[in-house]
Chains A and B, each alone.
Chain A
Amino acid sequence: MSAAAFIVIAIFMLAGAVAAATMPRLIHAALSLVVAFIGIAAFYFLLGAEFVGLVQIFVYVGAVAVLIVFTILLTRRDQENTSGFNWGGAVVAIAVFSSLVWAILHTRVSEAAPQIDPLTVKRIGEVLMTNYVWPLQCVGLLLTAALIGALILVAEEKR
């Protein structure tokens, strides 16, 4: 982990996130969101969790961002009055951020990252299939139910 990489990725990712939150055009915000997600995946790589970084890219950049872009295109005729911005939200966000930073800076945490062996996909698979096999099945069931529910929600009503 190097500090230079951390700072560069942090600037990249936060710029993408701020653009995603404040861009007036929805499609530009969705594309900035992709930048922010790639930055977050780079953080996972920096932290030594390569598998989570790859999952982040596959799921968020590959699926969620494409889903958001499709939804924007399907609801396209409603674009004119979307640039309204409520400054009360900015005040709340800054207040939450300052209290979080205050709490983080007043907490004693371990500073140095211990040396570890690289976390291989084999190890993650072993843990998923032994200790976490029931949560894994539950997540599979949840995903199936959620996707069937999404299909039912968007299905055309019969007249």
Chain B
Amino acid sequence: MTPSLTGFLILSAALFCIGLLAALSRRHAIFILIGIELMLAAANVNFVAFWRFSPEPTQPTGVIVAIFSIAIAAAEAAVGLALVIAVYRHYRTTNVDKLDQLKG
């Protein structure tokens, strides 16, 4: 017996929801970034799984999209962590509940 596409889809749904849990329920900015990275990785698993189980896998479209997505996720992580450091330098905290200067 080999794993089916449904197995991979349920697995990446679980990974996405763990990332969502980290992004929604933690109050530290770095945890929110970790959650976003997990969600992006779940989307990449879906791309590659759909490519592998597609009727015509000779065109590596899903693989190419996953590679581009990883590159963009790396850029996002670099900018996000730079923002965390800049915010920490300014406010001396990375707790997102305390960053409420724009609150009316």
Contacts and interface: CB of A to CB of B under 8 A. Distances in A.
A121 B57 CA distance: 15
Given A100-B17, A153-B83, A33 B57 contact: no
Contacts of B25: 85-90, 93
Interface in B21-38: 21-28, 30-31, 33-35, 37-38
Given A47-B49, A119-B63, A124-B60, A105 B38 contact: no
A74 B89 CA distance: 10
Interface in A58-105: 59-60, 63-64, 67-68, 70-72, 74-75, 77-78, 81-82, 84-90, 92-94, 96-97, 100-101, 104-105
B52 A68 contact: no
B101 to A, nearest CB: 17
A37 B19 CA distance: 13
B38 A17 contact: yes
B35 to A, nearest CB: 7
Interface residues of B, number: 74
The size bracket of the interface on A is 35 or more
Nearest to B38: A17
A109 B51 CA distance: 13
B18 A52 contact: no
Interface residue SS majority, chain A: helix
Interface of A: 1-3, 6, 10, 13-14, 17-18, 20-22, 26, 29-30, 33, 36-37, 40, 43-44, 46-49, 51-52, 55-56, 59-60, 63-64, 67-68, 70-72, 74-75, 77-78, 81-82, 84-90, 92-94, 96-97, 100-101, 104-105, 109-114, 116-117, 119, 123-124, 127-128, 132, 135, 139, 142-143, 146-147, 149-151, 153-154
27 contacts: A14-B15, A17-B38, A21-B38, A26-B30, A29-B34, A30-B34, A33-B38, A36-B41, A43-B11, A55-B67, A60-B37, A60-B70, A64-B74, A64-B77, A68-B77, A75-B84, A78-B88, A78-B92, A78-B94, A84-B27, A86-B25, A89-B23, A89-B25, A93-B24, A105-B6, A110-B5, A124-B63
The 10 closest A-B pairs by CB, nearest first: A89-B25, A89-B24, A146-B75, A21-B22, A150-B82, A97-B17, A93-B21, A100-B13, A6-B3, A153-B82
